[in-house]
Amino acid sequence: MQALTFKRGVHPPDGKALSCDKAIEVVAPKEDSELFYPMSQHIGAPCAPIVAVGDHVKVGQKIADSSAFLCCPIFASVSGEVVAIRPMLVPGGAMVNSIVVKNDGKMEEIEGLNVGRDYEAMSNQEILDAIKGAGVVGLGGAGFPTHVKLNPPKDTPIDHILINAAECEPYLTCDYRLMLEESDRIVKGLQIMLKLHPDAKGVIGIEMNKPLAIEAMTKACEGIDNIYVQPLVTKFPQGSEKHLIVAITGREVKSGALPASAGCIVDNVDTVLAVERAIVKGRPLMRRVVTISGKGIKNPGNYKIRLGMTLRDLVDAVGGFNEEELAPVKLIAGGPMMGPTLYTLDVASVKTTSGLLCFTKEEAYIPPEKNCIRCGKCVDHCPMGLMPFMLNACALRGDGEGFVAHHGLDCIECGSCSYECPAKRQLAQSIRATKKIEMGKKAAAAAAARAKAEAEAKAKADAEAAKN
């Protein structure tokens, strides 16, 4: 089968050799260690604690929730005492109110855990409720609540469910190992999702640099008519939702629209596995697989962790850092193209924590920034067809209107422009910062408009009431 792809993009060294052959190992938190559960681990409204300091919690117990439409509950991954509710740093750099549980080491589970169901005997609403009730969100990075994604408006029929198995970020291999070790369960999770959309077909998109994964997943799909594996060209950002849709279906998702508008739902490999676990095993999202890599770590590999562990405890559990010339000088949460740099390991692991990269001075080296040489490479390689040099100029002079006019809000923050820039301009960084500012302005304007409309409606209703 021909490998498919999208226009433009970049080809960074993949760096996956450090961990791709390392089977997934389970890392358990130490007794008496503290685990942190931030109230915001997904796109949408944050949760609120439903436990108090001094409470004893068990594995699988819901400890935070919200009645908001776009939200997912949070569960304790260990048993122990709630010792605090306070702000904690998360990988994205924000301080988020968090429930702190001191692990008692007993791993006591709540009653009713591990009670699975036959998805074929469940209604669509029961499946969606179970996925929501298990706290499943997109584990590829964005953290969009999965039950919402799987239930688009009735006027947007779905004919493709695409599994993002590209894992195009350099160094990360956690999804790759899951495909080798849990291929049958991944396919089962996709079958559950397809029950919600019986007219759709499931396509598992895997880059050509993962031949063993292509082989394993193809074998797991044998005899299933509506699921197949689609090889993809090895290129970044092949795993972006919009570009995966273009590559596999040829359809374009318009600016500001969701994948469902193109008849597609896109989910990550580990997300599909979380769906299978929620339905078949009856377990909520309490764990994920994380790649720890880079020459600065003693034992690079793929580790199954309990959510809430700090990255410091995780590094200690896998053997710690190398020393002297191989000591890490840069830590990155996630992949090197899009992951944020960390200034401390006292950070909570959350649902979207896919990796921790520990780069030595050699690996982390970036040449000094120079003046733009007008080469146009950032334009040639931008997967969104934008003009990063122009967006960078708008960002540097604080021209928000110009930034928006040049479609800066359509930037997917992939970093391809910075990677290809021979002058090593900090294009992606400046665009990302300005995009955040302009998105904030847009949200504030929308909130003000809603408030004004509500006030006018209330005034009109009061006037009508006064007349009567």
Q: What is the pLDDT of residue 305?
A: 97
Of the candidate CATH numbers 3.40.720.10, 3.30.450.20, 3.40.50.11540, 3.40.50.720, the domain formed by 1-28+118-365 belongs to: 3.40.50.11540
On the question of pLDDT at 63 being above 90, the answer is yes
Question: What values do phi and psi take at 56, rounded to 5?
Answer: -100, 130
- pLDDT confidence band for 454 (50 / 70 / 90): confident
pLDDT at 381: 97
User: What confidence category does residue 202 fall into, taking pLDDT thresholds of 50, 70 and 90?
Assistant: very high
Mean pLDDT check: name the lowest of 4-8, 114-118, 342-346. 114-118
140 touches 339 (CB < 8 A): no
pLDDT of residue 257: 87
Instruction: Tell whether the model's pLDDT for residue 137 goes beyond 90.
Output: yes
Per 3-state DSSP, the chain is made up of helix, strand and coil in percentages (nearest 5) of 35, 20, 45
| pLDDT of 1 strictly over 80 | no
Reported as a single tens digit per residue, the pLDDT across 13-53 is 999 999 999 999 999 999 999 999 999 998 888 999 999 99
Over residues 286-322, the pLDDT tens digits come to 999 999 999 999 999 999 999 999 999 999 999 999 9
Question: What pLDDT, on a 0 to 100 scale, did the predictor assign at position 191?
Answer: 97
Alpha-carbon distance values, 79 to 48, 58, 327, 379, 430 (Å): 19, 4, 35, 52, 43
Nearest to 333 by CA among 291, 288, 271: 291
Give me the pLDDT at residue 385, please. Answer: 94
Q: Is 75 exposed, middle or buried (0-12, 13-18, 19+ CB in 10 A)?
A: buried
**What's the pLDDT tens digit per position in 333-383?**
999 999 999 999 999 999 999 999 999 999 999 899 999 999 999 999 999
- Asked whether residue 141 carries a pLDDT value surpassing 80, the answer given is no
Evaluate if residue 468 carries a pLDDT over 90.
no
**Mean pLDDT, the chain, whole residue set:** 94
**Which of 32-46, 377-391, 449-463 has the weakest average pLDDT?**
449-463
Geometric angle at alpha carbon 150, from 440 and 447, rounded to 5°: 20
> Mean pLDDT over residues 103-119, rounded?
91
Q: How far is CA 269 from CA 145, 302, 313, 315, 344, in A?
A: 15, 15, 26, 24, 29
User: Where do the domains of the chain lie?
Assistant: 1-28+118-365, 367-468
Confidence of residue 446 (pLDDT cuts 50, 70, 90): confident
For residues 173-195, give the mean pLDDT: 97
Q: Of the candidates 157, 156, 56, which has an alpha carbon nearest to the alpha carbon of residue 103?
A: 56
**Does residue 460 surpass a pLDDT of 90?**
no
Whole-Å CA distances, 362 to 13, 53, 330, 365, 367: 14, 45, 10, 5, 11
| Other CB atoms within 10 Å distance of the CB of residue 336 | 24
Instruction: Please list the alpha-helical segments (H only) found in 221-280.
Output: 241-249, 269-276
